[in-house]
Structure 1
Amino acid sequence: MTDPALDPATALVAVAHHRGIVTLTLDSPANRNALSAALVAELAEGLTRCGKDRDVRAVVLTHTGNTFSAGADLRDPPHPDALVDLMRQIVALRKPVLARVTGHVRAGGLGLLGACDIAVASTDATFAFTEVRIGVAPAVISLPLLPRTDPRALARYYLTGERFDAPEAARIGLVTATGDDVDEVLAPMLDGLRRASPQGLAETKQLFTARVLETFDRDAADLTALSARLFSSPQAREGMTAFLERRDPAWVV
């Protein structure tokens, strides 16, 4: 059932309910579900509604098209504070949030993935931290990622911007499980969540998110400032311009 509170003709996030599970679908395929200011605000509103609805047992975050999220929308980027608040909202929500990925994930989209409690990806999904290639750093998205992901692997992929596949994402702790059919992989997980008590889910989630929330509380201000500084730098302007013009930036040798 589609949420009647949202106009499906203009919504960037589609909402559906089924047996206690709300699915929030990033639905901006024209820009590969890039994190625009509008999409971030709409997703935050959808999560707020889920948090207040006693009938919601868990949330599934998924996407239309072949890309879960291409990262920040360079034409209409959200303020770093807004992205930090969205990721923290996912981590702090007293209901499990599961990512269902059947496409590619880049840059800021990996922050959403890292904030989710469970992430399932199709075997043909790909991942890349592309920030260094446009002159910035994966600053605020590190808040959920550094406490949850293998640090040596993260150093490699942060620094090189290399693309990696779903089995590697599972190996380093970025995703929980992979499979040719993500819905088949998710089915027993959703069944388990439906059988769990709301109180049990909320308190259990708090056990493994406490350290992540401590990282937000300690480092969010510094990393937000770093992100803002880098995005306003000359190298970032060159990198973003080169990306939009589909050419190599000036520093490529």
Structure 2
Amino acid sequence: MNTLFMLPNTEMLALQVENGVATITLQRPTVHNAFNAQLITELHLVCDAIRASSDIRVVILSGSGKNFSAGADLNWMQQQGEASEAENQADALKLANMLRALATLPQPTIARVQGAAIGGGLGLVSACDMAVAADNATFATSEVRLGLIPATIAPYVIRAIGERQAYRYFQTAERFDALTALRIGLLHEVTTPEALDTVVQQLVSSLLAGAPVAQTACKALIRDIGRTLLSDECLADTASRIAKHRSSAEGREGLAAFLEKRPAAWTLPPSKS
């Protein structure tokens, strides 16, 4: 029997728990599950609740509607663009801490991806231990198109795809498809939209066959010998970097150009042949 419950003040998320498997669903389909301050806070709360539960063995992160998550909510971004650098840093730290809460859950985590996973949405995918996507999924770190940088998600994306690929996609902001994401290491499996849940459940079955204490120890082992340090200093550094760019003239121009549907000031005109 399914148990469906909403934690206090989680209007933008649902948490369903069945047979030791928790499914977190982002529930802002009309804005493609875009981030805002409330969603960030709620997802952090859910992660803390899952961390404290001895009954949950596996966590699935999904998005409602056609897209997994299109990144930052435009209204929220506009507010941050008008805020001071100090306010931006405090806000970015909330996102950084939420991502760390997800990435350091003791339980195995699986991102179930359909449609777009852009910016912060790609960060969520990267922060999960495993990722399965439909073949219609698309990905991008699009921040430089807005005069920003993917700072808070960087530890997780670089961990997933490596420095060499990050040099390309952080700077070009290209969109890439599911097969490319599989090739560069972001995804573990690509399947049809119709088979997505089946493939996720196959992974869940494999995980439930493992010893939970040993699985938690495996996660700690990988973190301890990995190169990415998710320390308070690292989070403060990444938050400071994005705050600086959000409140900069370039960041404000990038967001304004996006909202006004015009080329940004730094965009070169097409070359004449």
TM-score class, shorter-chain normalisation, is over 0.9
The letter of the residue matching 2:160 is R
Q: Which residue of 1 aligns with 2:104?
A: 92
Contact 2:6 2:15 in 1 (8 A): no
* In structure 1, C-alpha distance between the alignment counterparts of 2:61 and 2:183, rounded to whole Å: 21
Q: Which residue of 1 aligns with 2:216?
A: 202
Change (3 A) 1:84 1:211: farther
The letter of the residue matching 1:194 is L
The letter of the residue matching 1:158 is F
Secondary structure of the 2:150 match is coil
**CA apart distance, 1:174:** 1.1
The answer to which of 206-215 and 93-102 deviates more is: 206-215
5+ residue gaps, structure 1, are none
The letter of the residue matching 1:192 is S
Change (3 A) 1:7 1:85: closer
Change (3 A) 1:32 1:5: closer
5+ residue gaps, structure 2, are 81-90, 269-273
Aligned residues: 252
1:61-72 to 2 correspondences below 5 Å: 61-72=61-72
* In structure 2, C-alpha distance between the alignment counterparts of 1:149 and 1:224, rounded to whole Å: 21
Matched, 1:185 2:199: yes
* In structure 2, C-alpha distance between the alignment counterparts of 1:161 and 1:41, rounded to whole Å: 27
Contact 2:34 2:73 in 1 (8 A): yes
* In structure 1, C-alpha distance between the alignment counterparts of 2:75 and 2:124, rounded to whole Å: 19
Q: Which residue of 2 aligns with 1:12?
A: 12
* In structure 1, C-alpha distance between the alignment counterparts of 2:68 and 2:226, rounded to whole Å: 23
1:15-30 to 2 correspondences below 5 Å: 15-30=15-30
* In structure 1, C-alpha distance between the alignment counterparts of 2:40 and 2:223, rounded to whole Å: 22
Secondary structure of the 2:76 match is coil
Matched, 1:173 2:173: no
* In structure 2, C-alpha distance between the alignment counterparts of 1:213 and 1:116, rounded to whole Å: 17
- TM-score (norm: length of structure 1): 0.93
Matched, 1:152 2:160: no
Q: Report percent identity of matched pairs.
A: 37
**CA apart distance, 1:211:** 4.7
**CA apart distance, 1:242:** 1.8
* In structure 2, C-alpha distance between the alignment counterparts of 1:5 and 1:30, rounded to whole Å: 20
Secondary structure of the 2:107 match is coil
Secondary structure of the 1:67 match is coil
Q: Which residue of 1 aligns with 2:253?
A: 238
1:29-68 to 2 correspondences below 5 Å: 29-68=29-68
Tell me how large the CA RMSD over aligned residues is.
1.9
- TM-score (norm: length of structure 2): 0.86
